[in-house]
Structure 1
């Protein structure tokens, strides 16, 4: 979901798309999964696969899911001691 949105420049209008969008999505996945800064692709992949991933929706004025212009991702570390959350919207 994150890569699909990033490769098209986000869920609305954006100047970052294609390869740069995927790069930022990859960096987001690294951060969400707890990979160390500067980790190799293999390290990020391993860390991400060991984590538990969730997709969520919210019921708030800024996080309305009526036009598919929002997404929420949460990640639980393999040891269940750390949770990271990314929530984004592209609504006005």
Structure 2
């Protein structure tokens, strides 16, 4: 009788943990992507694309990563005036 109780308890724990894992979904990143940012201007002609990551539970700051045409990824300071202007212009294009 004691063995059945232990098996039932273990089964309940395993099912609960499996269900919890399914509910959480995929965790993609557990920390910030940028370790350092630059503030100097980068010409838009060099951009391949821009990724904007809002602050969240894993990183408490906004991160902007510009992928250059040569494949290099550069983290830029979202508080720089030129970065703000690029983001503003991007938003203007998407609204049209």
Query: Structures share a fold, TM > 0.5?
Result: no
**Higher RCO (CA 8 Å, separation ≥ 6 residues):** 1
TM class by shorter chain equals under 0.3
Whose radius of gyration is greater, 1 or 2? 2
TM-score by length of 1: 0.20
- More helix per residue: 2
